[in-house]
Structures are given as C-alpha cells and as structure tokens.
C-alpha cells in the first residue's frame, strides 16, 4: 500500500516510488501537451475515487495548490470506474503509473500524459503488524520486489 501508513502497531518498508500520470479523454485540450504541469490542471474537473481510498487523498494533495473542481456526484469505486468516467468525457483523473502500464482493461479512448519533471509521485511499501510472526517471509518478498524494481530501473 501507499506510505505513510500512519497507524500504531504496524511496521512498514519502502519498496518503490511511482509517478502519477494524467488520464484524459482522447480529445481533451490537455492532450495536445507532451507533458503536463500541475498548474495546467487548473479549472479542470477532477474525478476521484470515493472516500477511504488512499489514492483519493494523494490526488487531492497533488492538486492542493491549484484550483480544480472535483466531480462530487460520482462514487468511483475502482480504477476501472475512473477510467470509464474519463473515457466518457466526464473529467480527468490522476492514475499511478503501474495502473496505466499493467491494466487489463482497455486503454482505448483514454490518453495518458506524464507530468513535467519533477513529477508528483507516491511511495509504495509493504505494511505488516508488529506482532506478525512472518517477518522473515515478508522480508523475503520485499527483497524480491526490490530486485524486480532495480532490474527495471
């Protein structure tokens, strides 16, 4: 999950950073830009996951310095919902890079643009209870993830 986890009694370990990308309807004016600055989002309608998803809070934080409108009417329950809402032209959204690259769903009708560097990003890590007896297993899994991330640059 995304860090910081921010709860007592749990341990965490950072695994990797991933950039946010901007998902746009295919004919959206921002699509004309090769990369997008956070300020470019000003005035646009932002679609977000419903309350309780960390991605929602992260997206709000990214956009905290610019004046965007949140489409409050919809309870986007999943990334797939966000994608379909964007394709339908109801607004734009921020997607973490991995959700773009490895999505099983169709990307047709969706334009993905990177942010201008330094791109806003989030930290993803492993989280477990301090009392867990499986710490060695968790560490081994984290090592594997570290190696994969390292080998993919």
Partner 1 sequence: MARRRPAARVASRPLSAKGADWAFHAGDDEVLDALANGRQTESLREYFGAPAYAELSALAAAARAAKKSAAPRVLILPGIMGSKLGHPMRHAGAKPRGRAADVLWIDPLQIAAGNLTALALPSGRSLKAVGVLLFSYARLKLQLQIAGCNASFYSYDWRLGLDELGAKLAARIARGGRPVILVAHSMGGLVARTAARILPKRLVRKLIMLGAPNSGSFAPVQALRGTYPFVRKVAALDRKHSAEYLAESVFCTFPGLYHMLPPPQFVKDMDLFDVRCWPDDVPAPKPEILGQVAAARAGFAAVDSRMVHIVGVNQETVVGLRRTAAGFEYAMDRNGDGTVPLSMARLPKLKCYFVDESHADLANNPRVIQAIIDLVRRGRTGTLPQRWRAKTGVVRRIDDAQLRAEGAEKIDWRRLTPAQREAVFAQLDSGRLLPAAQHPVA
Q: Are strands 121-129 and 2-3 parallel, antiparallel or unpaired?
A: antiparallel
For partner 1, how many residues bind (rule: CB under 8 A)?
A: 18
The contacts of residue 79 (CB under 8 Å, 6+ apart) are 49, 55, 95, 99, 103
Give the residue with the Cβ less far from partner 1, 25 or 96. 25
- How many Cα atoms sit within 13 Å of 40 on the Cβ side? 18
Q: Cα separation of 98 and 95, whole Å?
A: 8
Residue closer to partner 1, measured from CB, 135 or 141: 141
Binding mask 75-104 for partner 1 (x = CB under 8 A): xxxx-xx-xxx-xxxx-------------x
Q: How far is the CB of 109 from partner 1 (least distance, A)?
A: 10
Residues in 38-77 that interact with partner 1 by CB under 8 A:
73-77
Q: Which residues contact partner 1 (rule: CB under 8 A)? A: 73-78, 80-81, 83-85, 87-90, 104-106
């Amino acid at each position: 999950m995304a860090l910081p986890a921010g709860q007592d009694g749990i341990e965490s370990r950072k695994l990797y950073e991933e950039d946010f990308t901007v998902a746009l309807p295919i004919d959206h004016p921002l699509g004309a830009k090769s990369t997008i600055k956070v300020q470019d989002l000003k005035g646009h309608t932002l679609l977000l996951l419903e309350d309780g998803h960390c991605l929602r809070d992260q997206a709000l934080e990214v956009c905290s310095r610019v004046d965007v409108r949140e489409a409050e009417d919809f309870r986007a329950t999943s990334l797939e919902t966000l994608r379909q809402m964007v394709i339908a032209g109801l607004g734009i959204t921020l997607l973490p890079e991995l959700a773009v690259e490895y999505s099983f769903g169709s990307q047709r009708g969706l334009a993905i643009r990177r942010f201008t560097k330094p791109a806003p990003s989030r930290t993803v890590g492993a989280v477990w209870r301090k009392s867990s007896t499986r710490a060695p297993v968790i560490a081994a899994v984290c090592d594997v993830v570290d190696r994969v991330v390292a080998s993919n640059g």
